[in-house]
Structure 1
Amino acid sequence: MGEVWRARDEQLDRDVAVKRLRVPPEFGRTESAHRIARMEREARAAGVLRHRGIVTVHDQFTDAKGTPWIVMEYVPGRSLAQVIGDGGRLSPERTARIGAQIADALAAAHAAGVVHRDIKPANILLDGDRTVLTDFGIAAFEGATTLTAEGSLMGTPAYMSPEQVNGDRGTPASDLWSLGATLYHAVEGQQAFQGPNMAVTLLAVHRGVPAPMVHAGPLEPVLRSLMSKDPAHRPTAAEAAARLSAPDRSLLPTVPGAPPSAGRSPLTRRRLLIALGAAGAAVALPAAYYAFDEEAPSRKTGAPAPASTPSAPPSSWRSPARDGKPLTRSGDVSSVVFSPDGRLLAVATDTPRGDSVQLWDVAARTMQSEFANASDDRASADGQILRLAFSRDGRILAAADLEGTVRMWDMRSRTEFGMPLEHAGTVRDIAFGPDGGLLATVGKDKLVRLWDLTTYQVVRTLDPRFRHLEITAVAFSPKDDLLAVGSEEVVRLWDLGTGATRTLKAEGVIGQLAFSPDGRLLAAGGSGESGTMMVWDVASRTRLKLPFKGAAKYEYIASVAFSPDGGTLAAGSSDNVLWLWDVATGERLGKPLAHSGTVEAVAFSPTGGLLATGTGIGEGAVRLWRS
């Protein structure tokens, strides 16, 4: 579009940069006029802005041939693109400093009604500690007439937002996406979206899923929020600047709720972070992929072999009865979970309006609230909610969906809080850890992420070395001393105190994991042969030689749950029934409870008096059962 020269302002005795428009002779009158108008707009856009992070425009003039020129300050530093090209990727700390300055500059531009529309490493100059945003050549003014020809793209494909690729006009949120893609390139040393040609690159941007991050560490959450496919989920420029500047904690979104109640496990979030090797402020640490240590000694030495009959109270669920009519018939139910006080039942369901989370008053059998899934895309079903989880104090409800987003709601105000936790693929399962301040997420990228919900930062990214499918299930033990993760034919137990792990051999693909209330047993459902439930003694890591049989051969066990007293094990099956077993004997309790669809979800109330089941394909309803 132009040539930039270093020049000398003889009157003021200073070096300046002058930009001369290039108009190829083959251009017609209309295209030439558009190019001249764009350069004049660049001068106006930068000229009205006064910010240390935006290049200063001193003057604009037209020479005798009618060619426009812009006179700007001369910035002696190199571009971010040159720095990356010469020295490779930058550290997360340096990337954050650069990003904070650019975000602050964008906040000033957006406040003045100017959208840059071409944020990329080549348009960022580094001059010592100063970062300068340049080239407003395709910037847009609020309310101004567009200069983009119909069917054309204005911007650099690898850094354009999905909505720009889809033909929409650039907005402040588009600039934030481009900033995220730029910072990704800086910290990872490669583009987030790339391909052998422009078409492949544009398709990658349209899908909105960047390549997995390896080096971003504590920057990963903010980069994912910047590159959220939904513009409404991206932070504003001012919010991004605050997060990238590592501001005072009072400026960060905080987790609603109170400290954990007395009598809870002594393993707090701080102790867990120390056990993980954090030993300080999690945000300041460079994160890395940590493989589970198969060779580390377990602290559970000399564990006794499992008894043939586990110590468990007699089951009270020998003759369950249906308690009233189904709560909802709005669509497929994928998850149900009781609040810790038992007053609410959260339901993830597919309604005609889209996927949503419903909150039901258990006593009154009425729906109190409904939260729409903002990630939902009715054309592709990408927004399907897969799992719900309450924090242990009941103040937070989290929902994970197929698109790779975890959203959270404050149960006191019934409003969403914080930034959605963005992932590079489907989030299959979530689990709250000690005192509700940690959240474990697992999914398609075969990694376990532990999030500190006071900062929305990943404190550790763990690689359990699963070599086949993605991780499908995760669960914290009730005593907070173990983390279980499951995939295909294997479950791994991670000791949170020592970091040691051990492998449990499983059958089929694990659908869900559940610890018994005392933490002694771990149950897994999935696609095991003959529909056999898998139950292990945690201390010895051996599978119990008890029946737990019943389901037809090769049926899929989609959901599992222990009763609060540990005496009953429930499992929902793809053959449209709910199985109940006596934990002490492994024998089936009565006839299976018939449903009209796959029992995708099951949950006991905290007192153990109620059992909720949710059905998916074939019906879509929530039933309550009484012991």
Structure 2
Amino acid sequence: MGKHRRLDGHRLLAELGRGSTAVVHLAVDPFGREVALKELTADFAGDAEGRGRLAREIAAQSRVASPYVARLLGGRVGGEQPYVVMQYVPGTPLADLIEAYGAMRGARLLRLARGLALGLAAVHDAGVLHRDVAPGNVMVLGDRPTLIDFGIAQETGAEQLTRRGMVIGTPAYLAPELIEGERATTASDVYAWAATMAYAATGRHPFGRGSLHGVCFRILRGQVDLEGVGEPLASLLRLGLRRDPATRPSARWFAGSLAEWAADAQWTSTPDAQRSGGITQRQQVAA
């Protein structure tokens, strides 16, 4: 136990994920709770931009309260080693789950879609844009999703430090207006929710694979792959994937529309469903 590195009373147990600017650790906090602690890498710890980004992440995530969103527990932007502490979310990233077991079906899929819509609605109700809703940023345990990684999130209406030609987020799940250099909005988060659920429902990336240019071209042309998606989800996803952001319903509307279907659908327990909560336990870090 004594060999583990400590950071402000947090004992770092294992590395959960690593990106270009930050590392996420499984840690134990001073209260004995398992937490996810994200610290900036040595190259970025002294960088003003990196610290500013971490401060924005803390400010945004601190405003959100939802059982479907990872909770912020603390953090420090000053000092030699900036970090943020979040709820540790057990389970499997949706990206890994679908890759291992294939597409979801039936009640489980509808409950997952509604839970994620509820989480995103809470983010928007708090005046925050997530800006990176994607299969890698949704942890799944059973049929319960938890939205993680607020690394590029920001408060609604805040200045967006991007410019035309700059891709921020997971490219295959970007709304068309973002590819065209427009501002992120709640509607662009909704589009990413719909694209993420399309992936869960088909087991395929909704705009195919290949070059970034080719994927972006298909997004701009609206060439989404929803083959095999049943109703009512298929119709709802088409609404979320509308080309014009002004015509997309809100995340709260989608959660309400899915409520009755998710409650009424028959639950079918399969060996794959029972196993799928424990392939891996890791948190994603922002690139």
TM-score (norm. length: structure 1): 0.37
CA separation in 2, counterparts of 1:211 and 1:23?
42
Equivalent residue number for residue 22 of structure 2: 2
CA separation in 1, counterparts of 2:86 and 2:158?
24
- Equivalent pair of 1:188/1:216 in contact (CA under 8 Å): no
Equivalent residue number for residue 34 of structure 2: 15
Q: Structure 2: which 5+ runs fail to align?
A: 1-20, 267-287
1:47 alignment partner, one of 46, 52, 62: 62
User: SS at 1:5's partner residue?
Assistant: strand
CA separation in 1, counterparts of 2:131 and 2:254?
17
Q: How has the CA–CA distance of structure 1 residues 163 and 50 changed in structure 2, closer, same or farther, with 3 Å as cutoff?
A: same
What do residues 209-265 of structure 1 show as CA deviations (whole Å, max 9, x unaligned)?
A: 2024224343110111111111122111111001222269xxxxxxxxxxxxxxxxx
- Equivalent pair of 1:193/1:205 in contact (CA under 8 Å): yes
For the pair 1:81 / 2:81, whether they are aligned, the reply is: no
CA separation in 1, counterparts of 2:204 and 2:43?
33
CA separation in 2, counterparts of 1:22 and 1:169?
29
For the pair 1:38 / 2:45, whether they are aligned, the reply is: no
Equivalent residue number for residue 428 of structure 1: none
What do residues 466-508 of structure 1 show as CA deviations (whole Å, max 9, x unaligned)?
A: xxxxxxxxxxxxxxxxxxxxxxxxxxxxxxxxxxxxxxxxxxx
User: SS at 1:213's partner residue?
Assistant: coil
- Equivalent pair of 1:226/1:235 in contact (CA under 8 Å): yes
Equivalent residue number for residue 228 of structure 2: 214
- Equivalent pair of 2:37/2:86 in contact (CA under 8 Å): yes
CA separation in 2, counterparts of 1:34 and 1:103?
31
User: SS at 1:119's partner residue?
Assistant: coil
Q: How has the CA–CA distance of structure 1 residues 154 and 61 changed in structure 2, closer, same or farther, with 3 Å as cutoff?
A: same
Equivalent residue number for residue 75 of structure 2: 60
Residue identity matched to 1:14: R
What do residues 326-357 of structure 1 show as CA deviations (whole Å, max 9, x unaligned)?
A: xxxxxxxxxxxxxxxxxxxxxxxxxxxxxxxx
Q: Which has the higher contact order (CA 8 A, sep 6+)?
A: 2
CA separation in 2, counterparts of 1:23 and 1:220?
45
CA separation in 2, counterparts of 1:81 and 1:46?
22
User: SS at 2:145's partner residue?
Assistant: strand
CA separation in 2, counterparts of 1:135 and 1:174?
17
Q: How has the CA–CA distance of structure 1 residues 79 and 2 changed in structure 2, closer, same or farther, with 3 Å as cutoff?
A: same
For the pair 1:113 / 2:127, whether they are aligned, the reply is: yes
User: SS at 1:181's partner residue?
Assistant: helix
CA separation in 2, counterparts of 1:136 and 1:50?
13
> Number of paired residues?
247
Q: Structure 1: which 5+ runs fail to align?
A: 249-280, 285-627
Pairwise mapping of residues 299-314 of structure 1 onto structure 2 (< 5 A)? Answer: none
Pairwise mapping of residues 432-581 of structure 1 onto structure 2 (< 5 A)? Answer: none
Q: How has the CA–CA distance of structure 1 residues 208 and 140 changed in structure 2, closer, same or farther, with 3 Å as cutoff?
A: farther
1:140, CA displacement in angstroms? 2.4
Equivalent residue number for residue 276 of structure 2: none
CA separation in 1, counterparts of 2:50 and 2:220?
28
CA separation in 1, counterparts of 2:94 and 2:226?
22
1:62, CA displacement in angstroms? 4.2
For the pair 1:228 / 2:203, whether they are aligned, the reply is: no
CA separation in 1, counterparts of 2:227 and 2:88?
35
Pairwise mapping of residues 112-191 of structure 1 onto structure 2 (< 5 A)? Answer: 112-149=126-163, 151-191=165-205
Residue identity matched to 1:195: R
- Equivalent pair of 2:202/2:229 in contact (CA under 8 Å): yes
What do residues 17-48 of structure 1 show as CA deviations (whole Å, max 9, x unaligned)?
A: 100123647x9x9xx43332222211111111
* Greater Rg by CA: 1
User: SS at 1:246's partner residue?
Assistant: helix
User: SS at 2:232's partner residue?
Assistant: helix
CA separation in 2, counterparts of 1:137 and 1:80?
18
What do residues 109-152 of structure 1 show as CA deviations (whole Å, max 9, x unaligned)?
A: 11221111110011011134532111111112122122225531
Equivalent residue number for residue 213 of structure 2: 199
1:75, CA displacement in angstroms? 1.1
Q: How has the CA–CA distance of structure 1 residues 177 and 23 changed in structure 2, closer, same or farther, with 3 Å as cutoff?
A: farther
Q: Which moved more, 1:32-41 or 1:73-82?
A: 32-41
User: SS at 2:110's partner residue?
Assistant: helix
CA separation in 1, counterparts of 2:227 and 2:242?
15
- Equivalent pair of 1:58/1:71 in contact (CA under 8 Å): yes
- Equivalent pair of 1:34/1:147 in contact (CA under 8 Å): no
What do residues 554-591 of structure 1 show as CA deviations (whole Å, max 9, x unaligned)?
A: xxxxxxxxxxxxxxxxxxxxxxxxxxxxxxxxxxxxxx
Equivalent residue number for residue 112 of structure 2: 98
- Equivalent pair of 2:68/2:147 in contact (CA under 8 Å): yes
1:168, CA displacement in angstroms? 0.6
CA separation in 1, counterparts of 2:175 and 2:74?
32
Q: CA RMSD in A?
A: 2.5
CA separation in 2, counterparts of 1:155 and 1:165?
10
- Equivalent pair of 2:164/2:180 in contact (CA under 8 Å): no
Equivalent residue number for residue 277 of structure 1: none
1:100, CA displacement in angstroms? 0.6
Residue identity matched to 1:2: A
CA separation in 2, counterparts of 1:191 and 1:216?
17
What do residues 64-110 of structure 1 show as CA deviations (whole Å, max 9, x unaligned)?
A: 53x32001111111111111111111114222211111111111211
User: SS at 2:37's partner residue?
Assistant: strand
CA separation in 1, counterparts of 2:195 and 2:63?
27
Residue identity matched to 1:127: L
Residue identity matched to 1:4: V
